[in-house]
Amino acid sequence: MSLYPVYKLWNINAVKATGCVITDDAGIDYLDFYGGHAVISIGHSHPEYVQALSNQLQHIGFYSNAIVNPLQEELAEALARISGYPHHRLFLCNSGAEANENALKLASFQTGRARVLAFRRSFHGRTSGTVALTDDPSIRAPFNAGHLIDFIDLDDFDALHAAFGQHDYAAVIIEGIQGVGGIREASVGFMKALRDHCTRHNTFLILDEIQSGYGRTGTFFAHQSAGIKADIITMAKGMGNGFPVGGLLISPDFTPIAGQLGTTFGGNYLACRAALTVIKVMETENLMNNAREVGSYIIEKLQQIPFGISQVRGRGLMIGIETERDLRKGPSLREDLLWKGHIFTGASGPYILRLLPPLCITKEQANKLITFLEQWYTSHR
């Protein structure tokens, strides 16, 4: 049997990873400035994480949601402490798309409405509902058609006003900072207007913090810098540092109904242990602060590169570098970063390089990337 080839693969066989470094089978060390799509939050193979998961496995790894699981309660308490949403309730699942799908379902159940407002350049996942919400027709099959979704641009106040004038929405869904769409963020004014429209029309505001959340931007959730509250916040990626876990924080305005949501694997002991350890390490190692500090340092240094970069966007360790040259065409910056600089990065479309390193990245490690980029842009003027 062969694999169903839907991924563009780099020919690297990683056999070990520690902190922000991945080592391949030839012994080459790569600096991880991508965190496997923003997943590695506290660093690869963090000793406390390895120990906690190994210990947990020796006790109990899985049983279904048919019995009480005190680790879920413990995780809810830890999230109440760190998230800024002490009164929201926690529902656990396995991935980002599943978190968003559940969020939309809840908003629809509670309002009795089906229509959702979303944003152009968004990415919310690949399940049926989330793919319909994602502004990319190439990943939407005919089977995914039929959802009632309207798309508007970030910061288009007129379109926002017009949309609410025309339709009753169950929910608006927006990323804290658009990730796949190129590290783009709505203004504080727009976020406040969005909150205001949702409140006045009894529409739920869903903040997709799957990529931008869990401390990555220096606050626990990216939208918190706008000073607004969301009705549902969805999380995944950095939550388990590589262990698959997703979740929703759900406002007290929702009435839980037995059987309305459910999952086989969601909230299992290993997932909870992973998520609890991530929070513990984030707190003891002050990683949100590190994300803020090292992120600002990187952004400032990148902005000083005099040629080749048209814009540097983002906050904390969620950074987009808009380059003047197509990243895919030779000499390709992204390939040179990987094969010559031994640095993993991501991309959003042909012109945007995406940096999503583990939150423990150091200034010394950042300097390696910055020096490589300075030299690359200088020699490719």
Ligand X SMILES: Cc1ncc(COP(=O)(O)O)c(C=O)c1O
Residues near ligand X (CB under 6 A) are 37, 95-97, 100, 123-125, 175, 179-180, 208, 210-211, 236
Nearer to ligand X, 312 or 318 (CB): 318
3-state secondary structure of 8: coil
Say if residue 264 is exposed, middle or buried (CB neighbours under 10 Å; 0-12, 13-18, 19+): exposed
Tokens of 290: 């590190």
CA 246 – CA 352 distance, rounded (Å): 27
Q: How far is the CB of 191 from ligand X (least distance, A)?
A: 16
CA 302 – CA 216 distance, rounded (Å): 19
Nearer to ligand X, 17 or 104 (CB): 104
Q: How far is the CB of 255 from ligand X (least distance, A)?
A: 26
DSSP 8-state class, residue 332: P
CA 89 – CA 254 distance, rounded (Å): 9
Q: Which residues contact 206 (CB under 8 A, 6 or more apart)?
A: 100, 103, 104, 107, 171, 172, 173, 174, 230, 231, 232, 233, 234
Nearer to ligand X, 35 or 218 (CB): 35
Residue-by-residue DSSP string for 172-230: EEEESSBTTTTSB---HHHHHHHHHHHHHTT-EEEEE-TTTTTTTTSSSSGGGGGT---
Nearer to ligand X, 37 or 140 (CB): 37
Q: How far is the CB of 243 from ligand X (least distance, A)?
A: 12
DSSP 8-state class, residue 44: B
Nearer to ligand X, 177 or 309 (CB): 177
Nearer to ligand X, 95 or 219 (CB): 95
Cα 331 to its chain centre, rounded Å, is: 30
Q: How far is the CB of 123 from ligand X (least distance, A)?
A: 5
Strand ranges (E), 123-170: 149-152
Nearer to ligand X, 97 or 353 (CB): 97
Q: How far is the CB of 79 from ligand X (least distance, A)?
A: 18
304 with 367: CB under 8 angstroms? no
Give me the residue whose beta carbon is nearest to ligand X: 96
Q: Which of 130, 121, 138 is nearest to 97 (CA)?
A: 130
Q: How far is the CB of 93 from ligand X (least distance, A)?
A: 10
Nearer to ligand X, 128 or 289 (CB): 128
Q: How far is the CB of 122 from ligand X (least distance, A)?
A: 8
Q: How far is the CB of 20 from ligand X (least distance, A)?
A: 20
Q: How far is the CB of 203 from ligand X (least distance, A)?
A: 20
146 with 80: CB under 8 angstroms? no
CA 303 – CA 374 distance, rounded (Å): 11
Residue-by-residue DSSP string for 262-304: --SSTT-HHHHHHHHHHHHHHHHTTHHHHHHHHHHHHHHHHHT
Nearer to ligand X, 17 or 118 (CB): 118
DSSP 8-state class, residue 88: S
Nearer to ligand X, 9 or 67 (CB): 9
Q: How far is the CB of 100 from ligand X (least distance, A)?
A: 6
Tokens of 36: 């496997």
